[in-house]
């Protein structure tokens, strides 16, 4: 009898151990570009995606996105800072006292990127110029050569965000319980400002008319911030744990986003 008891206890312990081992591993919140050593936090990835979206909405060439990403990387490491040298704020460390906008405006990534592009396109020869010289013409930094070091990274990220194929940008994170507030309204407003014309279905899914893979990559980059748990696009399905995978049930156009 003691042997039987011991055997049963061992089986129970083994079962519990197996279940413990089967618990899903934690996932680091990050965005990467396949084939490169680029690694961003999801915050940085979202800000990079916003910059690319603003450039795309203005019909600017990819070079504009590269210059802007390198500039924001140097100025803030692609973070929307609420501090800086003197009164510098935001992604591009723009100074309200120098006519860039109010403190609230320059800390709005969409506005900040737009103001950067406003001034970028006024620089003679900006499309063909050396990146750090063009960026310096906009920023007037005390470190005029510092932008150049980020061109390879910026080129890789811009290429991923503007690509017309799935899986060009990979972002992963551990899904968490949703916060309060009207999350659908927040998602819809973000889509409207940065990705296209949103439509909310009866099931709560947000569809984006006329969207392509650049908009899908934008959605991936912003998924953690906006609480998106599933993205469907042209026969592909994305989740934060699996990334993009071909899915027969995902043959849906336009792009569709679902909250966690």
Cα–Cα distance between 133 and 118 in angstroms, integer?
17
Q: Are 40 and 32 in contact (CB under 8 A)?
A: yes
Residue 112 pLDDT greater than 80, yes or no: yes
195-203 mean pLDDT: 96
Convert the pLDDT of each residue in 212-248 to its tens digit: 999 999 999 999 999 999 999 999 999 999 999 999 8
- Residue 167 pLDDT > 80: yes
Classify each residue of 157-168 as buried b or exposed e, where b means 16 or more C-beta atoms within 10 Å of its C-beta. Answer: bbbbbbbeebbb
pLDDT tens for each residue of 118-159: 999 999 999 999 999 999 999 999 999 999 999 999 999 999
The rounded distance, in Å, linking the Cα atoms of 226 and 244 is 18
Pairing of the two strands 30-32 and 236-239: unpaired
CA 134 to chain centroid: 25
Q: What is the pLDDT of residues 44-92, one digit of tens each?
A: 999 999 999 999 999 999 999 999 999 999 999 999 999 999 999 999 9
For residue 172, pLDDT beyond 90: yes
User: Domain extents for the chain?
Assistant: 30-162, 170-259
Element (H, E) at 245: strand 243-246
CA distance 97 to 202: 47
Residue-wise DSSP of 170-204: EEE-------SS-HHHHHHHHHHHHT-EEEE-TTS
Q: How many CA atoms lie within 13 A of 80 on its CB side?
A: 19
Three-state secondary structure string covering 85-145: CCCCECCCCECHHHCCCCHHHHCCHHHHHHHHHHHHCCCCCCCCCCHHHHHHHHHCCCCCC
Query: Do strands 170-172 and 255-259 pair parallel, antiparallel, or not at all (unpaired)?
Result: unpaired
pLDDT of residue 5: 45
pLDDT at position 180: 63
pLDDT for 10: 47
**What per-residue confidence (pLDDT) applies to 179?**
60
Tokens of 133: 């010289």
Q: What's the pTM value of the predicted model, to 2 decimals?
A: 0.89
pLDDT band at 17; cut points 50, 70, 90: very low
């Amino acid at each position: 009898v003691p042997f039987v008891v011991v055997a049963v206890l061992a089986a129970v312990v083994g079962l519990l151990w197996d279940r413990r081992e089967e618990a899903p591993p934690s996932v680091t919140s990050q965005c990467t570009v396949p084939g490169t050593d680029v690694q961003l936090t999801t915050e940085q990835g979202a800000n990079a995606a916003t910059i690319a979206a603003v450039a795309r909405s203005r019909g600017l060439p990819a070079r504009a996105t590269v210059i802007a990403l390198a500039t924001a990387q140097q100025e803030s490491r692609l973070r929307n800072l609420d501090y800086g040298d003197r009164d510098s704020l935001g992604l591009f460390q723009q100074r309200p006292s120098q006519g860039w906008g109010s403190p609230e405006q320059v800390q709005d990534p969409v506005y900040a990127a737009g103001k950067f592009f406003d001034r970028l396109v006024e620089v003679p020869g900006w499309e063909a110029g050396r990146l750090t010289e063009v960026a310096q013409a906009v920023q007037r930094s005390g470190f005029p050569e510092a932008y150049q070091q980020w061109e390879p990274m910026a080129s890789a990220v811009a290429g991923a965000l503007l690509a017309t194929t799935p899986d060009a940008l990979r972002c992963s994170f551990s899904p968490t319980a949703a916060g309060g507030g009207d999350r659908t309204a927040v998602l819809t407003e973000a889509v409207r400002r940065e990705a296209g014309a949103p439509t909310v279905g009866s099931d709560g899914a947000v569809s984006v008319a006329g969207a392509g893979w650049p908009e899908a990559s934008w959605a991936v980059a912003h998924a953690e911030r906006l609480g998106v748990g599933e993205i469907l696009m042209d026969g592909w399905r994305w989740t934060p744990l699996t990334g993009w995978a071909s899915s027969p049930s995902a043959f849906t156009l336009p792009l569709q986003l679902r909250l966690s």
